[in-house]
Structure 1
Amino acid sequence: MLNRKRKRIMLLSICGMPRSGSTFSFNIARELLASRGSIYSEPTEEIERVVAQSHADSIIIKNHNVHESGIELLKTGAMKGICTVRDPLDAIESLMDIFGFDIQQSIHAFQLWVDSFNAFHDHVLVIPYKTINASPMKVILRIARYLGVTPGPLEVLRLRRKYDKKRVMKVSNKMSQQAGSTTDLGFTYYDNENFFHRRHVRQEKRVSLDKETTAHIKQQLQRMDLVYSYL
């Protein structure tokens, strides 16, 4: 939380592992907070700029690489954090499949997240990907409690249905690149409101890690013990 000009706002970081359900957690938090006040959300690492410019009741920052200032905000409680985690090999395979990254790009992006996670892991709400798949309603309630809100049963059901994986797959597969409503990153584009990427949900495996590639990833990734402890 931040106290800015005597107005108390919520600052929230969605800082999950790439390809681990972080967009699910983002949208649940976004909808819960939007029904209770004004919100501003942005996928960025520039936390200080967003806080300085926004006048919303709640500010949601989404990224996979929390910088030093963000880590300090999380550690002091000035910013809340929701962090989804997944088996690293599955996440990297999905990253390569959906975005077309090569193995070294994927390892680099993943290691950046691991290093920041190791610094803030005990100051955020950690949600395993497998729990999202198995009990999405329980996850919605966990997020709500963490944010200090009490959704009614119909609100929980609505969110469960709206962000069901099959529905998200259909919506993201129909996405088209449109000026004003999407942002182009070059290797993909995403919706400016819900942050769904083109082909957001993996339909079929077009990339599978063989034994040699798996061994290479395990050898390259460093400081992974904490990540595995949450799975």
Structure 2
Amino acid sequence: MKKMLISSLLLLSFFSLSAQKEVFFTTIDKDSVSISSMQGIFIGPAAFHSGFGVSFDVGYFNEKRMTNSTSLILGGNIYLGKYIKSILYSGYSNSNSFSRPIHEYGFGMGLTAFAEPRWYFTFKNRYEKGRNVKLNTGCFLGLPLELNTNTLFADSTKLKLNLFLSPIIGYRFAFSNHFFMETSAGLGISLFHLPEIQLNSYFRIKAAYTFK
């Protein structure tokens, strides 16, 4: 009788724990699943910066969650790279004056401040399928606004500013709880030689470490 009582108590305990576990898993609301806020540092090449062909960026970012799938990223960086400078050359030939544009190339650095609203449009779907969603892994759409300056150019003391706005599409992949890589591309407008507006392509690769 004593053994039967002990066995019954053990069975009741087992079913009670099982029921609690089942309730725990069935009460998860998938609509409450959300992307994460984070901050960190990043490095990587970019294909557009105030007359640069290709630059290399080192910077800081702070990504703040706005809704379950959208965020606002603020930050800044220093960029280094080869730049192209157009100069109007004037001279005389056979007593006739002439002028023609020439291009000079050099290496320099500049500063960038940026703000980017972003939508991780595959986040919920990836979560429901049990795929990796660490550090907001997945595809995204963004609208980065960048203000670039040539203040630190090696051959120039004149301040020049460039405002750049571009819709982009990209992909982020997290390797761990602190490291991720992402790539993005787009086509946007540049306000470098006001009032002239130019179309410029946008391409960037980032490797980042988060303090999250």
Task: Quickly name the TM-score band, shorter chain normalised.
Answer: under 0.3
Instruction: Give the number of the structure whose residues are more often strand, by fraction.
Output: 2
Name the structure, 1 or 2, with higher relative contact order (CA <8 Å, separation 6+): 1
Structure 2 length-normalised TM = 0.20
Instruction: Give the number of the structure whose residues are more often helix, by fraction.
Output: 1
Structure 1 length-normalised TM = 0.19
Looking at CA atoms only, which structure, 1 or 2, has the larger radius of gyration? 2
